[in-house]
Structure 1
Amino acid sequence: MGEQHGVERTVERTLGHLRALDSEPEPAPDRPLTLEDLYRQHRMRLVRLAILLVDEPATAEDVVQEAFTGLYRNWGKLRDARAAVGYLRTAVVNGSRSVLRRRKTAREYQPPHQADARSAESLAMLSAEHQAVVAALGELPRRQREVLVLRYYGDLSEAEISEATGVSRGTVKSTASRALDALQKILGVG
């Protein structure tokens, strides 16, 4: 169990480092939030989230653009700005899943895509240890990668991850544990 905590701390440091690099200032609450505000404030972070899930910047951009298009179509049905951010996050996760499903079908049982499509700037800012963790995340099954990325990069709670992925909180918890075990083996820790 102690070895898993070591891997968890390593993943948390790596994705927390990326999250800190991606932090965007919060808007001044002097007027109601608009779709344009949401786009300006959250687009890049959502693109980076999608890159961690699909490994291709161009595809990640498309996924996020589709999420914002869906938000635009449903703008009148939202409760508030917090609901809009949750909608976007869920749409990015679901859009990334769709991309991966289509890839799998198109490749017909070829090995999984390797995680190597990070931006030059973000990769250069990572230590060798962080780069190894990001590469290892790319080797995990889709759901395990989603749960760890949403937890440690998205800084979401189990309940928020459950909502974004459409699985129960118990499944989130057990998936995270299995993912950390798998990372421990991939990274050769312990």
Structure 2
Amino acid sequence: MTFEQFVAVQGQSLLRLAFVLTGDRHLAEDLAQAALADAYRHWKKVTAASDPPAYVRRMLVNAHLSWRRRRSSTERPTDLPDTSPDQAAEPGDGLEERDQLRTLLAGLAPRARTVLVLRYYADLDDAAIAESMGVSQSAVRATASRALASLRTTAVVETVQETP
């Protein structure tokens, strides 16, 4: 498989994963581009891997975690909605729930967010997540448990605050 074929087949799923990890369309494009640029530079290693998509997904996750650790990363997302015509939503299509979920996920630490995204969005098991992140399976389970507990607590607090 050539790099161009790989991008044609896997590019959109990598971009969607990057969007769920970052919560920002433009940052997701930058992240996916950086991961694919690294994959291109190391294409022989990628094709030699037993599962090239998983290898590149790990590159994307590592790039995401590395970007989030940098102190120079002081950009903060705003609450302005995306008003592009292709993003127009009909009432009742779940937009409010997805927006609330994105807000809750954005409040998590990068590692916790990454674990939850890989588990529930990318549908990976603990072993695959551990391999993608370079941590142990028990660290994945512990991080997921703490992240879910944090989400539950945050959701309950927000619900109580909204109640008149």
**TM-score of the aligned structures, taking structure 2 as reference length:** 0.78
Distance 1:130 1:73 in 2: 36
**How far apart are residue 187 of structure 1 and its match?**
1.0
Q: Which of 136, 144, 156 does residue 168 from structure 1 map onto? A: 136
Task: Assess if the C-alpha contact under 8 Å between 2:61 and 2:133 holds in 1.
Answer: yes
1:182 equivalenced with 2:143 (yes/no): no
Is residue 141 from structure 1 mapped to residue 77 from structure 2 by the alignment?
no
- Say which structure, 1 or 2, has more relative contact order (CA 8 Å, 6+ apart): 1
CA deviation after TM superposition for structure 1 residue 135, in Å: 1.3
Contact 1:68 1:88 in 2 (8 A): yes
Give, in angstroms, the shift of residue 55 of structure 1.
2.8
Which residue does the alignment assign to 1:59? 27
Alignment RMSD, CA only? 2.7
In 1, Cα distance between the equivalents of 2:16 and 2:73?
A: 24
The corresponding residue for 1:105 is 72
5+ long unaligned stretches in structure 1: 1-32
> Would you identify which runs of 4 or more consecutive aligned residues in structure 1 move more than 6 Å?
none
TM-score by length of 1: 0.69
Aligned CA distance change for structure 1 residues 148 and 122 (closer, same or farther; 3 Å): farther
For residues 128 and 87 of structure 2, the distance between their equivalents in structure 1, rounded to whole angstroms, comes to 26
Match of residue 94 from structure 1: 62
Give the total of aligned pairs. 152
- Please list the CA deviations of residues 96-142 of structure 1 after superposition, one character each: whole Å capped at 9, or x if unmatched: 1222223x4353xxxx8458588665683534223212210111111
SS of aligned partner of 2:51? helix
Q: Which residue of 2 aligns with 1:158?
A: 126
1:79 paired residue number: 48
